[in-house]
Homo-oligomer: A and B are copies of this chain.
Amino acid sequence: MVLMEERVRRDGVVKEGGILKVDSFLNHQVDPVLYRAMGEEFHRLFAGEGVNKILTVEASGIGIACVTAQVFDCPALFAKKSRTKNLDGEVFTAQVESFTHGGSYTIMVSKKFLGPGDRVLILDDFLAKGNALAGLVSIVEQSGASLAGCGIAIEKGFQEGGRRLRDRGVRVESLAVIERMDNGEIVFRGE
């Protein structure tokens, strides 16, 4: 998606340790026009797939999921990262190792909201090692729902998450795939 690549190149900041900061438009401050365009692009990519539920994990994925759900006109569902008073009852869970925060955490989705009748599109802002996405895929599998695929805003193509998921047969559509980020310069796949 040219719009996303242009935006990452213009406003993304490369930091040491393979960190790409996109907090001015994607995951701290959010550009409403870009978000709408992302939703429309995911809808175009997964048209005809019969998607009836969008799944993400808190926190940064929630906005993308909710705006894209407007375009699909279907519910969004966000996996929670900790059991709170607001999430009792039976849940599907998956264990996720975190690159950004360090350590690992449990994500969970209430069994009430995902089941064999669902056709699921998983969305997230970033795909790097792919641990969060793999957890969401596991939850879809546990539920008996079918997976249309994963839609990602920015994939770090030099990390293994995208390849691992595609090797498993999961359809992954990333709006921008970064091939490398050397000396602060960003090169996208296909350039």
Contact = CB atoms under 8 A, between A and B. Distances in A.
Interface of A: 15, 17, 19, 21, 23-24, 27-33, 35-36, 58-60, 62-67, 69-70, 72-78, 80-82, 84-88, 100-101, 109-110, 112-113
**Is chain A's binding surface mostly helix, strand, loop or mixed?**
mixed
Contacts of A32: 66, 69-70, 72-76
Given A28-B77, A62-B62, A77-B28, A101 B113 contact: no
> Which of A15, A62, A75, A88 gathers most chain B CB within 10 Å?
A62
Contacts of A75: 29-32
Given A28-B78, A62-B66, 16 more contacts: A21-B86, A21-B88, A24-B112, A28-B113, A30-B75, A30-B78, A32-B72, A32-B73, A35-B66, A58-B62, A63-B63, A63-B65, A63-B66, A63-B76, A66-B67, A86-B100
